[in-house]
Chains A and B, each alone.
Chain A
Amino acid sequence: MNHLDEQVLPPQFDLPSLERNAFEWRALKNTLLTGFVWLLAVIASIPLFSVIYMLVVEGGARLDLEAITALPPAGFEMGGGFGNAIVGTLVMVGIAAAISIPLGTMAAIYLAILDPSSKLATTSRFLAKVLTGFPSILAGVFIYAVLVVTTGTYSAWAGGVALAVLMLPTVTLAAEEAMKQVPQKMKDAAFGMGCTNTQVIMKVVLPTGLPGILTGVILAVAGAAGESAPLLFTALFSNYYMAELAEPTASLSILIYNFSGMPFDNQIELAWAASLVLVMIVLIFNVLARVVGKSKFKD
């Protein structure tokens, strides 16, 4: 543009002023644009603060011992809570973690160390990335067809497995990334001493990459805890504490979804309180992930 050309022009006889002029178009534009990005950043943070405000004010008002232990109220009933939903969420996330973490970590070991450039590794890595962008409701539809129809009942199992389908690619990719951060020279040292592949992985790569792997895993758990679409028609919902894993099971997110559309203030207040609990669960995992990730080895 022209103002760039000005720079290249040979010096004039009377030297141009080198002082900055605040009202020159170039400077003015700079100030305006800087103000604009600041504005964008502030706008982007408004929803978060608004959500947090609502959770604390609306949800906090109703969050008491009864809310986190009692059973969900029916239509016009007052009081009640969502104790069974907290238990259900934790149990299903537990099932999902128990399936996806070992599977995902082992897959990551293959992708990151055993044979990173093989056909299987490149295909799996690509499909895992595609799966992370996969609509979560499809995991629900899939598990409905595979588990609910065949076993004939909605269950915590089905809900947990649906969440595991969502967690698997996240855990795999995060663990692979963390293992790749382990310096090659450390692996060389282990190979150089005559370690088998397994010994290199178990004695050097996993211990060294552990903080990173844990961070990824915990974030995946946090994401799963907040999921609702895959539970809609796999775990369904229940108004009672779970007695076994093979029966419809309540979860916080489905409770919020169900209660949000009800015309009763009591249920809506409980939906806010449940949201607060759900967000706190998710945030605790997030903070945990950060703390664990900080204790990274130095190179």
Chain B
Amino acid sequence: MAYDPFKSASSARTLSAPPSASDYLKDATFRAFAYFCALSILLLVGYIVFELGSQAMPAIKTHGLGFVTGTTWDTNEEVFGVLPEIWGTLYSSLLALLIGGGLGVGIAIFLTQGFVHAKIEVTFRTIIELLAAIPSVVYGLWGIYVLIPLLRPGAEWLHEKLGWFPLFGTELSGPGLAPAALVLAIMILPTVAAISADAFRRIPYKVKEAAYGMGATKWEVILKVMLPTASSGILAGMVLGFGRALGETMALAMLIGNVNNISVSLFAPANTLASLLASTFPEAGQMEIQALMYAALVLLVITFIVNVAGLAVQQYTMRKFEGKK
């Protein structure tokens, strides 16, 4: 029973009673359990890093850093290098960021700066949210049967007329960087748009008021005041969107062609770390699995760095307007 010196001393009519022993037991158990659950996130991340690391260890010992700079992936010769995949991962994500990021910021401005009636705003916001809800494989399927056929005539024309230009250096034979990057752009657009819109909404109304009060036009307010003020939030959205693009798997495995190839041409097939894992893992032998674990570790490190950077920028933005704690 709880220590309760009050019952006898307090007035006789009070109905107050201390918590029962079972209340205390429940409280202690409940708190211990919650503590353990919070701890489990920490343990999970630790376990993931440890497991991937130890699985990749044999491959790290065999291939060393040459793994990251090698350009061949040959199971029979047991030569493994992921430079083309690293290149493809970064290149496709960067292209996606260029397109999806630009669109995302535009949409964020569109949604938050009073261009549309509240009802239309809700409609567009729903559209963006639905865009994020569509599964990756469905985008892959759409990419194969809608986007690639749609791109082909344009790509051929560009290659014929401007083939000397490295970006259009090869023909689009089907899957390749361009469709992959476009689908990636659609997939990261909601992330960028949501975080940027949030950054715009965080700007105190008085800032906007002050700018309008000086006689600036709507676009002068947006471009010269709102955009710079929200810039760190937009940057955070961009970086987190980039991180998402780096790790995206299925749509890319279906659209990028899965060819070990380093090329700047938008129409060349390529490969990414994630789609290498997706396409090779199921049929891999032991040696190759170890190499794939190494590739997974490389992907983990890259996305970890990018995500932490994005979160740091986001944190900075929040502090900027909410005052440091």
Q: Tell me, yes or no, whether A and B come into direct contact in the complex with CB atoms closer than 8 A.
A: yes
Q: Does B267 interact with chain A (Cβ within 8 Å)? A: no
* A68, chain B: closest CB distance, angstroms: 17
Q: Does B194 interact with chain A (Cβ within 8 Å)? A: no
Q: Does B244 interact with chain A (Cβ within 8 Å)? A: yes
Most buried by B among A44, A55, A172: A44
Given A30-B217, A126-B311, A130-B45: A135 and B299 within 8 A (CB)?
yes
Q: Are A40 and B106 in contact (CB under 8 A)?
A: yes
Interface string of B164-199 (1 = CB under 8 A from A): 000000000000000000000010010001000000
Q: Does A165 interact with chain B (Cβ within 8 Å)? A: yes
Interface string of A259-285 (1 = CB under 8 A from B): 011000000100110010011001100
* B302, chain A: closest CB distance, angstroms: 9
Q: Are A133 and B27 in contact (CB under 8 A)?
A: no
Q: Are A123 and B37 in contact (CB under 8 A)?
A: no
Among A27, A145, A196, A261, which residue has its beta carbon within 8 angstroms of that of B24?
Answer: A196
Among B137, B189, B246, B249, which residue has its beta carbon within 8 angstroms of that of A256?
Answer: B137
Range for the number of chain A residues in contact with chain B:
35 or more
Chain A: CB-nearest residue to B246: A135
Q: Are B281 and A229 in contact (CB under 8 A)?
A: no
Q: Does B141 interact with chain A (Cβ within 8 Å)? A: yes
Provide a sorted-by-A list of 30 A–B residue pairs whose CB atoms are within 8 angstroms: A3-B220, A26-B220, A41-B106, A44-B193, A51-B139, A51-B142, A106-B38, A129-B311, A131-B45, A133-B240, A133-B307, A135-B249, A135-B274, A137-B296, A196-B23, A196-B26, A197-B31, A198-B27, A198-B31, A199-B19, A199-B27, A226-B133, A226-B138, A228-B249, A257-B137, A260-B254, A275-B135, A279-B134, A279-B138, A282-B135
Bound together, the chains give a CA A256 to CA B40 distance in angstroms of 34
Q: Are A268 and B145 in contact (CB under 8 A)?
A: yes
Contacting residues, chain B, for A196 (C-beta < 8 A): 19, 23-24, 26-27
Q: Does B278 interact with chain A (Cβ within 8 Å)? A: yes
Q: Are A114 and B35 in contact (CB under 8 A)?
A: yes
Q: Are A106 and B37 in contact (CB under 8 A)?
A: yes
Q: Are A103 and B52 in contact (CB under 8 A)?
A: no
Bound together, the chains give a CA A27 to CA B124 distance in angstroms of 26
Bound together, the chains give a CA A223 to CA B133 distance in angstroms of 7
Q: Are B34 and A34 in contact (CB under 8 A)?
A: no
Additional pairs, 17, CB under 8 Å, beyond known A26-B220, A48-B134, A135-B248: A27-B217, A30-B219, A41-B110, A54-B142, A54-B146, A107-B34, A120-B38, A131-B44, A135-B246, A142-B51, A194-B19, A196-B23, A198-B31, A228-B249, A229-B274, A278-B137, A286-B133
Chain B: CB-nearest residue to A126: B311
Q: Does B300 interact with chain A (Cβ within 8 Å)? A: yes
Bound together, the chains give a CA A86 to CA B239 distance in angstroms of 35
Most buried by B among A40, A135, A146, A222: A135
Q: Does A127 interact with chain B (Cβ within 8 Å)? A: yes
Residues of B within 8 A of A (CB): 16, 19, 23-24, 26-27, 30-31, 33-42, 44-45, 47-48, 51-52, 55, 102-103, 106-107, 109-110, 115, 124, 127-131, 133-142, 144-146, 186, 189, 193, 214-220, 224, 240, 243-244, 246-250, 253-254, 274, 277-278, 281-282, 292-293, 296, 299-300, 303-304, 306-308, 310-311
Bound together, the chains give a CA A145 to CA B139 distance in angstroms of 28
A interface majority secondary structure: helix
